[in-house]
Amino acid sequence: MTSMLGGKRVSKSCLEMEAIGEVDELNVFLGVLIEEIEDDFKVEKKKIIDIQKNLFVIGSNLAALQASGIKIKKLGNLEIKKLEKWIDRMESELPRLKNFILPNGSEAATYSFYARAICRRAERCVIKLSENYVVGAGIKKYLNRLSDLLFVLARWLNLKNSIKEIKW
């Protein structure tokens, strides 16, 4: 058993803990990704750190699903718009994708592809959780857009490292 925000005791195997754990794993892996991105990309590393902070907001919101009267920070539309703006900026430099591509390339790109897979798993878990609890739409949308961002980031990192995409 473990305690949620507000003190409610739950099983460590409950769906809330699973969703929190998936978001936590994603956050940790983004830390690995940051370390693999070349130092030339300081702006991108800073943006990923901001994403990590938002994942803590998401985790705290998930931990408070069964609590009442607890004030915690919420994820706003501005954070989703930041992801979308970054996606648009990177996509403007990338060739249009006409085929599926294999998730590989530079080490940083491969880690970004892997982070995307973790993010999609976290998103699926949060969606499942939302079948039983009211999970803010912003959380679900943020995770969805984040998985897209991590895919585009992987492609962008390969482009910056002159690594050609392998079409499937």
Average pLDDT over residues 131-143: 94
Residues 6+ apart with CB under 8 A from 146: 51, 83, 119
Residues 6+ apart with CB under 8 A from 160: 41
2 in a structural domain? no
128 in a structural domain? yes
Write down the mean pLDDT value for the chain.
Answer: 94
Give the integer Cα–Cα distance in Å for 129 and 122: 10
pLDDT class of 146 with cuts at 50, 70, 90: very high
119 in a structural domain? yes
3 in a structural domain? no
Q: What percent of the chain has pLDDT over 70?
A: 100
Residue-wise pLDDT tens digits, 31-80: 999 999 999 999 999 999 999 999 999 999 999 887 777 788 999 899 99
- What is the pTM (predicted TM-score) of this model? 0.94
Q: What is the CATH number of the domain that holds 112?
A: 1.20.1200.10
Task: Indicate the SS3 state at residue 144.
Answer: helix
Selection from 110, 118, 109, 104 nearest residue 146 by Cα: 118
Helix axis angle for 137-160 and 107-130, nearest 10°, is 170
Please determine, for residue 155, whether its predicted confidence score (pLDDT) is greater than 90. Answer: yes
Give the integer Cα–Cα distance in Å for 159 and 105: 9
Range of the domain at 138: 10-64+73-160
